[in-house]
Amino acid sequence: MTTGAIRLGTRRSALAMAQSGQFAAALERVAGRPVELVQIVSEGDTSRASLSQLGGTGVFATRLREALLAGECDLLVHSLKDLPTADAPGLLLAATPVRADARDVVLTRDGIPLAALAAGSRIGTGSPRRIAQVNRANADVSVHDLRGNVDSRMQRVRDGELDAIVLAAAGLSRLGADIDLRLEPQDLAAWPTAAGQGSLAVETRDDVDDELLAAIRSLDDPATRFAVTVERTILSGVEAGCHAPVGVHADVVDGRLSVRAAVYGARPGDEIVVDHDEAVGEEYIRPQGSGDGADSARRVVPERASAIGTVVAGRLLDRGASDLVSPSTTS
């Protein structure tokens, strides 16, 4: 039995450290070994350029994956929405823990809803998807690029530099931030978010030892894995990168999968929306045990989910989605 510390690679941002620390605590309980955080700096952490200029949010994952492959750490914890949809050679997505709130929230000083903000109000977001959704909620506001950590973003609203910002609810929850601004959560049916938003991705090398892999996989949530696999397959199927104007959300409730996928054009009304609903077999979403049979069952989950995602992506493409996805935003 291995007894040394498990090295968990993470970005150094407050949010990355918080969510990695929460997973580390859970892993310590099931593995019976200490877990230490290894801070890794990526280009996305040091550059002040916009995410679209850097090539999308996949820029955060590249350096971490290099460190994992080089043996600088034993596993990584990512925000799943930051991961490119293509598989990384030599690496394994070993677990997706129970998903947090997948919604976006609009933060303002006084609680005025986004749709009611005055013409010219300044809204902060750097995401093409969120820009499209903001413009559809209120075509009269002005959108400004937004970078920096969560607190610095909120400070721009407190200081009056911006009238509102758009953030992920999951990030605020994981940070446990002291929020003195007013929050307006956005309904996922009208405002589907990034593929994988609210979910963590635990990544290891594909030659990880069986004992550590079993401990990590015990923290996997099959229903979350099923839903986010559908979402990421849709994103990949329309050949859209992780920073493209595409919103998609899938959820499994009481044995039924519901999906909403939207691809946004430059103007309000210029979008394609596809809904999908079907029953999901219990074998795909129940927690698995241990042993070879369980490992086989885990491999089936993404295959079935991927098949559904491919169908939804095909419906989007049939309706012209590829014409709305700019090649410059793919990753």
Domain boundaries, the chain: 6-100+194-329, 104-185
Looking at this protein, which amino acid is placed at residue 228?
V
Considering only 100-109, 136-145, 248-257, 300-309, which range has the smallest mean pLDDT? 300-309
More confidently predicted of 239 and 311: 311
Q: Which residues are catalytic?
A: 81-82, 129-130, 147, 153, 242
Cβ-based burial of 228 (10 A; exposed 0-12, middle 13-18, buried ≥19): buried
Report, as an integer, the average pLDDT of 202-208: 95
Check whether 252 has a pLDDT greater than 90. yes
pLDDT bin (cut points 50, 70, 90) of residue 44 is low
> How high is the pLDDT of residue 239?
80
- Residue 1: pLDDT over 80: no
Q: What is the mean pLDDT of residues 30-45?
A: 86
Q: In the block, which residue shows the tokens 């700096």?
A: 41
Mean pLDDT of 62-83: 95
Q: Do domains 6-100+194-329 and 104-185 have the same CATH topology?
A: yes
Helix (H) or strand (E) holding 300: helix 292-318
CB 99 within 8 A of CB 224: yes
Topology given in CATH for the domain delimited by 104-185: D-Maltodextrin-Binding Protein; domain 2 (3.40.190)
Which H or E run includes 298? helix 292-318
Is the Cβ–Cβ distance between 304 and 287 less than 8 Å?
no
What pLDDT was estimated at residue 294? 43
Q: Indicate whether 291 pLDDT > 60.
A: no
SS3 content of the chain, % helix, strand, coil (to 5): 40, 20, 40
State yes or no: pLDDT of 292 exceeds 80. no
Percent of all residues in the chain with a pLDDT value above 90, rounded to a whole number: 71
Mean pLDDT of 312-329: 83
pLDDT at 47 over 60: no
Q: How far apart are CA 222 and CA 164, in angstroms?
A: 36
Indicate whether 59 pLDDT > 70. no
Quick one: pLDDT at residue 41? 85
Query: Which has the higher per-residue pLDDT, 67 or 149?
Result: 67
If you average pLDDT over each of 58-62, 241-245, 325-329, which comes out highest? Answer: 58-62
- Per-residue pLDDT, 71: 96
Bridge partners (DSSP) listed for residue 260 = 249, 275
Q: What is the pLDDT of residue 301?
A: 66
Structure-block tokens of residue 255: 């044995």
What pLDDT shows up at residue 331? 40
Enumerate helices (H) and strands (E) in the chain, giving the number of each: 11, 13
Average pLDDT over residues 18-45: 90
pLDDT of residue 287: 64
CATH code of 6-100+194-329, in short, is 3.40.190.10
Nearest-angstrom CA–CA distance, 307 and 75: 28
Query: Per-residue pLDDT averaged across 168-184, rounded?
Result: 91
SS3 of residue 22 by DSSP: helix
Tell me what the pLDDT averaged over the chain comes to: 88
